[in-house]
């Protein structure tokens, strides 16, 4: 059997995801109509013999209860549980703390997935690859542009067998543009390595009387890096044609993540997508609409748009590359481009909310030498009056906008 752990983090993290994480913990923010980590379960449900998924983090216990209930309905074959760290233990600390629970029923291998990624999750291919080498860990790797590589864990591989020769977490200078996707497959023997790492840390503390015992264990620096020294870390690289990956740190990255999952739907469940039908709105490209949302037939929607639960889209509205969250309303003849419209927000008639398109993994764009917010984000319960233009702005919850604004954070 296989098991999986999703590292969900806790309330002190995900601060870069504000203002959207003010209303929902980041792992539960909806992308393509479902919480971020629902897509992880969707992928895990396609691994034969995988029956249990543990969410490990330091949120209150109640936070994931509804998600777990919904998951039981959507993925009846998987048992999902939340295990709470009493404090932030680091990316490997929780794995080590709950090692008995994770190893119960003797899983053959364990997937560990960062919560804040969107991916086509080639998990079955990772299993196949893992069984061809003698390492303890297979890490999913992908190539990114040189300029952004040092924001990730960087890998140098031996091309013949994909052994990872060097692993450096967020290096100061360029090392490699092959990076870690934060998606791993481990043998249970990894817990022995974690034990060693804990002992090494304790020994260091004994020698240095000024250092206090820190229980945080970092998967990247404390576990993966040492694994390269004993040739036990291997990388499975995404293929350009079928696999996609993106990190979800800022609200801006939710828009390309949304596009990524809509493309996944098109490949695997095309009936989840909205179609052009007589008497319906004009649909351009990939659009997801919650069954309870209403869209006027004269509206034109898409590509890369998600319309949430009970949202109302008026006459002549144009929406593209955007996420409209639950209960939001876009009134007649308004236009929403490259934006996220928060829960219960209202856009008046003949208004316009827009951002600027970005390339992969970039979240801001530079215009005339000034860095600007790339997409417009309206948090929960924001009201935009009639005939207003909002461009490249972040708007905090409960604001009412009566004048047009550009390139601002509106508090």
137/114 Cα distance (integer angstroms): 15
Q: In the bound complex, what is the minimum distance in angstroms from residue 344's beta carbon to ligand GDD?
A: 27
Q: Which does 308 bind (CB under 5 to 8 A by kind): ligand GDD, ligand GTP, none?
A: none
Question: Please, which residue, 177 or 349, has the CB nearer to ligand GTP?
Answer: 349
Residue tagged 């006459």 (tokens): 315
Per rule CB under 6 A, is residue 157 in the interface with ligand GDD?
Answer: no
Among the listed residues 130, 318, 331, 380, the single contact to ligand GTP using CB under 6 A: 318
Establish if 361 lies at the interface with ligand GDD (CB under 6 A): no
User: In the range 12-31, which residues lie near ligand GDD by CB under 6 A?
Assistant: 13
Per DSSP, the residues of 319-359 read EESEEE-TT-EE-TT-EEESEEE-TT-EE-TT-EEE-----
Q: Which of 2, 4, 8, 168 binds ligand GDD (CB under 6 A)?
A: 8
Q: How many residues bind ligand GTP (CB under 6 A)?
A: 8
130 lies in the binding site for ligand GTP (CB under 6 A): no
Within 176-215, the residues that bind ligand GDD by CB under 6 A are 179-182
CA quadruple 20, 24, 26, 32: dihedral positive or negative?
A: negative
Query: Using the rule CB under 6 A, is 285 a contact of ligand GTP?
Result: no
335 makes contact, choosing from ligand GDD, ligand GTP, none, with CB < 5 to 8 Å by partner type, with ligand GTP
Q: Least distance (Å) from ligand GTP to the CB of residue 151?
A: 30
At residue 104, the 3 state secondary structure works out as: coil
Q: Which of ligand GTP, ligand GDD, none does 84 bind, CB closer than 5 to 8 A by kind? A: none
Q: Please list every residue from 267 through 296 that binds ligand GDD, using CB under 6 A.
A: none
Q: Is 333 in the site for ligand GTP (CB under 6 A)?
A: yes
Figure out which of the listed residues 28, 117, 178, 307 binds ligand GDD, where binding follows CB under 6 A: 117
> According to the binding rule CB under 6 A, does residue 91 interact with ligand GDD?
yes
Measured distance CA(80)–CA(78) in Å, rounded: 6
Instruction: Please give the C-alpha separations between residue 107 and each of 12, 49, 149, 232, 345, in angstroms, as whole numbers.
Output: 32, 10, 34, 19, 46
Q: Does 94 bind ligand GDD (CB under 6 A)?
A: yes
Please choose, out of 78-86, 143-151, 217-225, 313-321, the segment that lies near ligand GTP by the rule CB under 6 A.
313-321
Please spell the DSSP secondary structure of 2-67, one letter per residue.
EEEEEEEE-TTS-GGGTTGGGTS-GGG-EETTEEHHHHHHHHHTTSTTEEEEEEEESS-GGGGHHH
Of 179 and 340, the one with the shorter C-beta distance to ligand GDD is: 179
- Choose among ligand GDD, ligand GTP, none what residue 316 binds, the Cβ cut-off being 5 to 8 Å by kind: ligand GTP
CA distance 140 to 11: 27
Nearer to ligand GTP, 55 or 388 (CB): 388
Angle between helices 36-44 and 65-74 (to 10 degrees): 40
| Helix, strand, coil percent content, the chain, rounded in steps of 5 | 25, 30, 45
Q: Is 284 in the site for ligand GTP (CB under 6 A)?
A: yes
Site string for ligand GDD, 55-74 (x = CB under 6 A): -xxx----------------
DSSP string, 184-252: EEEETTHHHHHHHHHHHHHHHHHH-TTSPP-----IIIIIIHHHHHTT-EEEEEPPTTT--EEE--SGG
CB 99 within 8 A of CB 194: yes
Residue 284 binds what, of ligand GDD, ligand GTP, none (CB under 5 to 8 Å, by partner type)? ligand GTP
Between 114 and 327, CB nearer to ligand GDD: 114
Stretch of residues binding ligand GDD (CB under 6 A), selected from 3-11, 119-127, 198-206, 334-342: 3-11
How far is C-alpha 1 from the geometric centre of its chain's CA atoms? 26
- Residue 13, contacted partner among ligand GTP, ligand GDD, none, CB below 5-8 A by kind: ligand GDD
Of 25, 4, 167, the closest CA to residue 95 belongs to: 4
Which residues bind to ligand GDD, rule: CB under 6 A? 7-9, 13, 56-58, 85, 88-91, 93-94, 114-117, 152-153, 169, 179-182, 220, 247
Which residues bind to ligand GTP, rule: CB under 6 A? 284, 316-318, 333-335, 352
């Amino acid at each position: 059997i296989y098991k999986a752990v999703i590292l969900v983090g806790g309330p002190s993290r995900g601060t870069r995801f504000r203002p959207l994480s003010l209303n929902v913990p980041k792992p539960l923010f909806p992308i393509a109509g479902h919480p971020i980590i629902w897509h992880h379960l969707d992928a895990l449900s396609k691994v034969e013999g995988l029956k249990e998924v543990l969410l490990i983090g330091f949120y209150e216990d109640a936070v994931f209860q509804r998600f777990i209930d919904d998951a039981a309905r959507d993925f009846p074959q998987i048992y999902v549980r939340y295990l709470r760290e009493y404090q932030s233990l680091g990316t490997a600390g929780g794995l080590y703390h709950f090692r008995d629970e994770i190893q119960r029923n003797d899983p053959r291998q364990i997937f560990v997935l960062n919560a804040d990624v969107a991916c086509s999750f080639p998990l079955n291919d990772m299993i196949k690859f893992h069984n061809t080498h003698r390492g303890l860990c297979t890490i999913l790797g992908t190539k990114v542009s040189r300029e952004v590589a040092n924001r990730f864990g960087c890998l140098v591989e031996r091309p013949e067998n994909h052994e990872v020769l060097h692993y450096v977490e967020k290096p100061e200078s360029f090392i490699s543009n092959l990076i870690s996707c934060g998606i791993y497959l481990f043998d249970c023997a990894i817990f022995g390595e974690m034990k060693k790492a804990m002992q090494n840390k304790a020994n260091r503390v004994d020698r240095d009387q000024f250092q206090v015992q820190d229980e945080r264990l970092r998967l990247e620096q404390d576990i993966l890096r040492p694994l390269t020294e004993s040739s036990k870390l291997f990388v499975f690289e995404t293929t350009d044609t079928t696999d996609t990956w993106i990190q979800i740190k800022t609200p801006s990255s939710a828009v390309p993540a949304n596009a990524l999952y809509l493309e996944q739907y098109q490949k695997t469940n095309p009936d989840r997508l909205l179609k052009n039908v007589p008497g319906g709105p004009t649909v351009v490209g990939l659009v997801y609409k919650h069954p309870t949302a209403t869209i006027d037939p004269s509206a034109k929607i898409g590509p890369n748009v998600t319309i949430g639960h009970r949202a109302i889209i008026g006459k002549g509205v144009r929406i593209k590359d955007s996420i409209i969250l639950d209960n939001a309303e876009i009134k007649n003849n308004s236009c929403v481009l490259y934006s996220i419209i928060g829960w219960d927000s209202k856009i008046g008639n003949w208004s316009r909310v827009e951002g600027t398109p970005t390339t992969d993994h970039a979240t801001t764009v530079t215009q005339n030498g000034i860095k600007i917010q790339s997409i417009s984000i309206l948090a929960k319960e924001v009201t935009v009056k009639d005939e207003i233009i909002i461009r490249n702005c972040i708007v905090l919850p409960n604001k009412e906008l009566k004048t047009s604004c550009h390139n601002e954070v509106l508090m």
